[in-house]
Structure 1
Amino acid sequence: MGEASFDQQAWLDRIGYSGPRTPTLETLNKLIFSHAHAISYETLDIMLGRTPKLDVQTLERKMIFGKRGGYCFEQNMLFRAGLRSLGFQITSLQGRVIRGMAIDAPRPAIHMLMQVELSEGRYLADVGFGNLAPTCALRLEPHTEQDTPHEVMRFIDVGGELTLQAHLKHGWEHIYRVIPYPRYDGEYEITNWYTGTHPETPYQGNIIAARPGPDRTRITMYNSRVTVRDADGRADKRWLQSETEYRDVLRGEFGLNMTDAEIEQCITTMKTKGTGDAPHPFFA
């Protein structure tokens, strides 16, 4: 997974960033915001029978030059390459997703995230958690409420793992627990293979996409349901009916460069394998 040939300028152009390139907290915050808004979270290649690949050149072809999105490993691997090209010091970490579960739920480590070392301290960077990825860096310290361009967030220490929480409509909701130990890329490869191929993961049969929007909103697509939620958790939902509507939303609202045939295949797979309109805590 070498990053020596990473095309920094192409990445910055793709995310619409033209600001300072010094490895500071201000730069990191602007990069997270720009990347999250430009490159949507989506898992549609898995529906198309394409297990995600994590080498940087493949990620560049897909998300930068191909104008597609990606899910957590793809997003954070690409973002990590971009940060390293600018001189940021990164420690690669994993998290235990507990969205919609007990704060101490015994969960496997299936999420990638990053710790960024700055003069101000250690910060979390994560552009790959769908509808609740923080849209700025978060200081890795417990019991401090931190405002973001979207939700207010904080960390709670649970047995030595910091639990990321977001303040939504019904109060503080758990997102994931951060494992405070460095991870090797081979561990991401193993987990990516599991999440990208296991028949019981939600990605095999469900259309999933998410991106942050203006005025502290977020837009999420789960099969035919499209939800726009504000920072307080109030949600406006609509349901897609025609293939034309699916194309318009995936290409327009999520900015995904997909062919008619690819979108048609995703819809067909959704109808045969998907969970329909059933709620899913990760993609509510």
Structure 2
Amino acid sequence: MPDLNLDRYFHRIGYAGERTPTLETLRELHRRHAESIPFENLDSLLRRPVRIDLDSIQRKLVEEQRGGYCFEQNGLFSAVLEAIGFRLTRLAARVVYTGDPHAFPPRTHMLIRVDLGDESYLADVGFGGMVQTGPLRLAVDVEQSTPHEPFRMIRWENDYLMQASIRGGWVPLYRFTLDPQAPSDYEVGNWYVSTYPESLFVNHLMASRPAPGVRYALRNNELAIHHLGGNTERRTLRTADEVREALRDLMQIRLPEGAELEALLERLANSPSY
């Protein structure tokens, strides 16, 4: 079993609280992780392998101060929670965000069930632009507040459907079951989203990070700054330098070096969003 460096992880997210498996600890870790480690898919765009073993995830997200997507984010977060003493189950979901909740896309999203006493919670620090910033109690038809938008779960056919409250309406995010997943399930899902020619992660830049009172989101060269309860600022980034600055300053990504990245930034600045 690879070693997990909790001290380095806590430094990365700015956490100095208790290391005990309580709801208060879970909430604080969840918020700090989501606000400190951005969602991004640069490796897939650069045609670099995305490795989801714990050593690789720690090196990338903690030591190199990069971001990642769900298999990396929730892979790291679940390992941290286990090391502290939380009881958890790793789950998978079908993403239906902006699509048809009746659809059955492949299970390409990882999330975590955390059991605390008689209650169960869903932790998820890897859902891109609509990432939860706090754990949600596993309860249906209950609106639940987070440091950002409210969320809720409903029963949907034989699944659960996660929804977020966006501009006054409930928007479907993903559908999931409580079936435990094996590491091989995530390896298959990770390979699919990072290499399949039609995968969004292979063809479009997606980077995002929540901060207090705001969400930053970058899709190709379209930057959006969503102010909670207020307006949304939108701007098209026209140069590679502008894309680089958004990734570095707003998403807080320590960018990899090399000619490949420079070529990608130029391409993004001159390509339409989707």
TM-score scaled by length of structure 1: 0.92
Cα distance change of structure 1 residues 204 and 233 upon mapping to structure 2, 3 Å threshold: farther
Structure 2 equivalent of residue 90 of structure 1? 88
Q: CA deviation at 1:131?
A: 0.8
Q: CA deviation at 1:255?
A: 1.1
Establish whether residue 67 from structure 1 lines up as the match of residue 57 from structure 2: no
Alpha-carbon distance change, 277 to 8 in structure 1, aligned in 2, over 3 angstroms: same
- Say whether the 8 Å CA contact 1:247–1:263 is kept in structure 2: no
Aligned counterpart in structure 2 of residue 76 of structure 1, from 74, 77, 80: 74
* Structure-2 residue corresponding to 1:252: 249
Q: Secondary structure at the match of 2:47?
A: coil
Is the contact made by 1:205 and 1:270 (CA closer than 8 Å) also made in structure 2?
no
Is the contact between residue 57 and residue 76 of structure 2 (CA under 8 Å) also seen in structure 1? yes
Instruction: State the secondary structure of the residue aligned to 1:41.
Output: coil
Aligned residue identity for 1:140 = L
**Counterpart mapping for 1:205-220 below 5 A:** 205-215=203-213, 217-220=214-217
Spell out, residue by residue over 1:158-192, the C-alpha distance to the aligned partner (whole angstroms, 9 max, x if none).
12311111111141100011221000011000110
In 2: Cα distance, 1:262 partner to 1:152 partner: 39
Q: How many percent of aligned residue pairs carry the same amino acid?
A: 37
For 1:45-194, list aligned pairs within 5 A. Answer: 45-194=43-192
Please tell me the residue identity of whatever aligns with 2:245. D
**Counterpart-to-counterpart distance in 2, 1:47 and 1:148:** 31
- How far is 1:241 from its partner? 1.5
Segments of structure 2 that go 5 or more residues without pairing to the other structure are: none
**1:233–1:122 distance in 2 versus 1, CA, 3 Å:** farther
Summarize deviations over 1:225-269 as a string: whole Å, max 9, x none.
110113347421011122221221111111111136353132245
| SS of residue in 1 equivalent to 2:129 | helix
State how far apart, in whole Å, the 1-side matches of 2:217 and 2:75 are: 22
Give how far 1:271 is off: 6.7
Q: Structure 2: which amino acid aligns with 1:193? A: W
What stretches of structure 1 of length at least 5 have no aligned partner?
A: 279-284
Q: Please state how far the C-alpha of 1:100 moved relative to its aligned partner.
A: 1.2
- In structure 2, relative to structure 1, the CA distance for the partners of 1:68 and 1:262 (3 Å cut) is farther
2:239 to 235, 242, 247: 242
C-alpha contact (below 8 Å) 2:74/2:110 kept by paired residues: yes
Deviations 1:56-78 (A, max 9, x none): 11111111000100011011101
Is 1:222 the counterpart of 2:228 in the alignment?
Answer: no
> Residues 35-73 of structure 1: CA distance to partner in whole angstroms, max 9, x if unpaired?
011100000011111121011111111110001000110
CA deviation after TM superposition for structure 1 residue 21, in Å? 1.0
For residues 162 and 26 of structure 1, the distance between their equivalents in structure 2, rounded to whole angstroms, comes to: 25
Contact 1:167 1:232 in 2 (8 A): no
Q: Does 1:231 align with 2:204?
A: no
Q: Distance in 1 between matches of 2:230 and 2:221?
A: 20
The one-letter code sitting in structure 1 at the alignment partner of 2:177 is I
2 CA distance for matches of 1:119 and 1:162?
22
What amino acid is aligned across from residue 162 of structure 2 in structure 1?
L
**Amino acid in the other structure paired with 1:16:** G
For residues 13-47 of structure 1, what are the alpha-carbon distances to aligned partners after superposition, in whole Å with 9 as ceiling and x for unaligned?
11111111110111001001000111000000111
**Equivalent-residue separation in structure 1 for 2:230 and 2:117 (angstroms):** 34
**Whole-angstrom CA distance in 2 between matches of 1:101 and 1:244:** 33
- Name the Cα RMSD after superposition: 1.6
Figure out how many residues of one structure are paired with residues of the other and give that number: 273
